[in-house]
Amino acid sequence: MERWKGRVALVTGASVGIGAAVARALVQQGMRVVGCARSVDKIEKLAAECQSAGYSGTLIPYKCDLSNEEEILSMFSAIKTLHKGVDVCINNAGLAHNEPLLSGKTEGWRNMIDVNVLALSICTREAYKSMKERNVDDGHIININSMGGHRMVPSADEHFYCATKYAVTALTEGIRQELREANTHIRATCISPGIVETEFAFRHHNSDPEKAAAVYESMKCLKAEDIASAVTFVLSAPPHVQIGDVQMRPVEQVS
């Protein structure tokens, strides 16, 4: 990770869970991390914790609604002005709504597409533009995917969410191919966790907290820090090594 010290990473959805853990890990490694979310209160608290801990990097909170393209573009413009640009883009933000394919509300489907697919694609495009403008040839785009992007969960509540994550799997490979066509050494990776103990299930099952708690009580789940460790592993790989997809799940998880 030595070569990343002082360089700029964008982490979307950095207020809680995996995003917060990734932001903390990168700051600990000496990176300047722009952490964005719709609300930055928790990111500001995390930034203060990182500073108190004496980490060599810096966490910069940025308020951004990723379902709004204008806000995303404004964020990249601010990063360019204040920090020159993005060297590492961690597309972590994602959400799920209980909207089955046969009875779900279009609004919920659209929100999942806006955040899980379109925001990821817009951030990737803008990060690549930033790298090219500055002749950065060793940047990295990391998409936080899901095991749901590789097999369909047998639950109607998850089907549309899984479809958006299948899209992330396809997008990551498409990005890798286009980067090769552009004769660049910028890398693209997706990390696909199974069940991770975060606030995700409680947001997903917000009307049934007992159901959410049962998800995490059924096994020893992955922790957000496990995913952060996978991110630093991917970033620390030698520049000639392309890690395409890291699939990880709890030992006790069946599928």
Residues near 62 by beta carbon (within 8 Å), at least 6 away in sequence: 34, 35, 36, 40, 75, 78, 79
Judge whether 99 and 163 are in contact, CB under 8 Å: no
Residues near 230 by beta carbon (within 8 Å), at least 6 away in sequence: 191, 193, 246, 248
**Nearest Cα to Cα of residue 203 among 61, 108, 65:** 108
Judge whether 223 and 18 are in contact, CB under 8 Å: no
From 55, 161, 166, 216, the catalytic residue: 161
Q: Is 216 a catalytic residue?
A: no
DSSP state of 2: G
Provide φ and ψ at 91, rounded to 5°. -85, 90
Question: How far does CA 176 lie from the centroid of its chain?
Answer: 17
**Could you give the CA distance from residue 146 to residue 164 in angstroms, rounded to a whole number?**
10
Q: Which residues sit opposite 89 in a β-bridge?
A: 10, 141
Catalytic residues: 161
